[in-house]
Structure 1
């Protein structure tokens, strides 16, 4: 009989019981994960009704420093003085220059042949000659009238003197008994008549002299008036020759050689090459702060030149205002029409102010609210903004140094009070 291994076997007790805590490990882990997910979701819900990707936002920190209000723009060089010459009368134009020619002051540029104006000048000159002759004749008549009046006055004076001597002679004869009293009385009457005639002659001489002088003066005034008319027509005839008002260069020519131009039609323009200005376009928001004489800096070939505002357009075109700058000291050499230059207008500098980088939030909130970062959330906060430059805006209230403001991208927030930023 073969022996087996039963002698080596031993009976074991019933299976050992597993600890109770092991049965709850995995359910507890699952519950913890579920709770964490709920907490995370609740935290996101509490943080804001909207979640925005932070890469789509631009956030700037509120700092304290000097706020320089300036405007930087590119402008074009234009001639400060570039008048257009017009035809003073209709006629055939003859051009003596072409566009681009250098001209000197007083140089003839074009001539207009106007037979009508030249004929008018001849007629007015003839009228003037007639009036001058009449004035001369009136002066001569006045001299004759005065001479006749003086002659009558002298005659009256002699007759009065003769009457006085006759009276004296009769008076002596009457006293000697040689002449009757009636002759003495008659001599007295003759003297009185001579004195009256002398007085009237003296008065007539003055009145006739004044009348003759007035007639001569009227004729002279008519002649002077006609001289003014002739001078004006002569000026118009002289203006038929268009001359350069200054040293410069011929710009654009609007008339065609030997063509018939109408009165007040543009013929050509002259550009003053000695004085240039720079024309820039300024945003409408800065236009109300501009003033004539405000300092500016113009940059040509990397070198700055001082300047100032010479003119500001009164109208707004496409949200911009045209502004002209002139060089206050010396202008760069070799400037050309329509050349591009960089310009910077310094409006003011505010020292040690609270400011933040400028962005679309200024216009979106009307300058009364902004989104400020609070941890990973953006919270809407009322603010008060002040002056602004091209890069920064002054903060008057609602923010403190170190606050981080969403300066761009807040249009994605809608009207939410708090927004989660991922």
Structure 2
């Protein structure tokens, strides 16, 4: 091969080598951005939120059943029988006590007898009216006689209706001689013993419902005006360590500068009727807003330099000193040079420094 052939071969090798190197450099260029992203520290963030500053107020109360009843008879008499014992559970409609009144049963018997007597008289009058109408059609009886019989039939029909009403009233009074449970409950107190005479309306026994618990507290009138139905509260037992959730069910009118407020406890609150508790109310104390961040975002919270790591718009870390305040539901109120909706790091702060660029996990 001559010198010209060797030159052409060398030129081809150079061109091929350049092309190969160019192809090898293309792949790293395309993945360079991804490598940089993967090299950054991964963090999780949450936004700063604004809230009105609150003050927690505590009020004493006693747990009670949501449904309660003190039962009494509508009529006077002697307590003949008591069918339940103190502490016994009863179902809705279950009989509880029986009264004896010697005047009620005879009154019912008299009313039933009067109704039966009028029924028989009405049956006879209806037959007489039908016979008179037939005879009147044949002109065998006077028109006046037919009118008299029809008037007597109508009068006795009205009398029968009144007798039926008296019988229904007497029957209801006899039925009222037995007390029945108005709802599923537990018998909490027995106020009258069998054989005792009771007057109409005198309390005989007390029931405490088994479904639902509530607490009644008394608050100043000015505070009662700021409470609304549905407002969440916290309830803590006085004699043990626990915390339960509740909501304001209603607020009454103030009497003697205090207003009654009913707190309805959540269904899973393990509190027994009669247990003393404290109700904690969160009340806004100013119109201005304060800042809150997740508790996990505050570093060195009990030290000399508490701070959070905030992120700029391009995900650069900025150290911001804070002054922690009240903690509520894992959020802490702070004083700091931050703004609502600004992002703060809540996980992954371990090796971060001021000015680091991070990768925010979804």
TM over 0.5: yes
- Give CA deviations for 1:169-203 in whole Å, capped at 9, x if unaligned: xxxxxxxxxxxxxxxxxxxxxxxxxxxxxxxx9xx
Matched, 1:103 2:90: yes
| Superposed CA RMSD | 3.1
- Which residue pairs with 2:247 in the alignment? 307
**Secondary structure class of the residue paired with 1:143:** helix
- Give CA deviations for 1:48-106 in whole Å, capped at 9, x if unaligned: xxxxxxxxxxxxxxxx9834376542322112221111122222212121221111122
**Residues of 1 paired with 2:136 and 2:107: CA distance?**
43
Matched, 1:270 2:184: no
Cα drift, residue 244 of structure 1: 1.2
- Which residue pairs with 1:283 in the alignment? 220
Q: Which structure has the greater CA radius of gyration?
A: 1
Matched, 1:228 2:165: yes
Structure 1-normalised TM-score? 0.50
- Which residue pairs with 2:78 in the alignment? 92
- Give CA deviations for 1:284-339 in whole Å, capped at 9, x if unaligned: 33233344x24132335644424223341x3424x422221224xx4234431122
Aligned to 1:332, which of 268, 281, 285? 268
Contact 2:82 2:194 in 1 (8 A): yes
Cα drift, residue 348 of structure 1: 5.6
Structure 2-normalised TM-score? 0.57
Contact 1:146 1:208 in 2 (8 A): no
**Secondary structure class of the residue paired with 2:103:** helix
Contact 2:71 2:204 in 1 (8 A): yes
Inter-CA distance 266–251: structure 2 relative to 1 (3 Å threshold) = same
Give the 5 Å matches for 1:20-419. 66-68=52-54, 71-93=57-79, 94-152=81-139, 212-291=149-228, 293-300=229-236, 302-312=242-252, 314-317=253-256, 319-327=257-265, 330-345=266-281, 351-352=287-288
Cα drift, residue 220 of structure 1: 1.9
Larger relative strand fraction: 2
**Residues of 2 paired with 1:138 and 1:70: CA distance?**
81
Contact 2:52 2:286 in 1 (8 A): yes
Cα drift, residue 259 of structure 1: 1.0
- Give CA deviations for 1:236-271 in whole Å, capped at 9, x if unaligned: 111111111121111221112221112221111111
**Secondary structure class of the residue paired with 1:97:** coil
* Unaligned segments of structure 2, at least 5 residues: 1-49, 291-325, 327-362
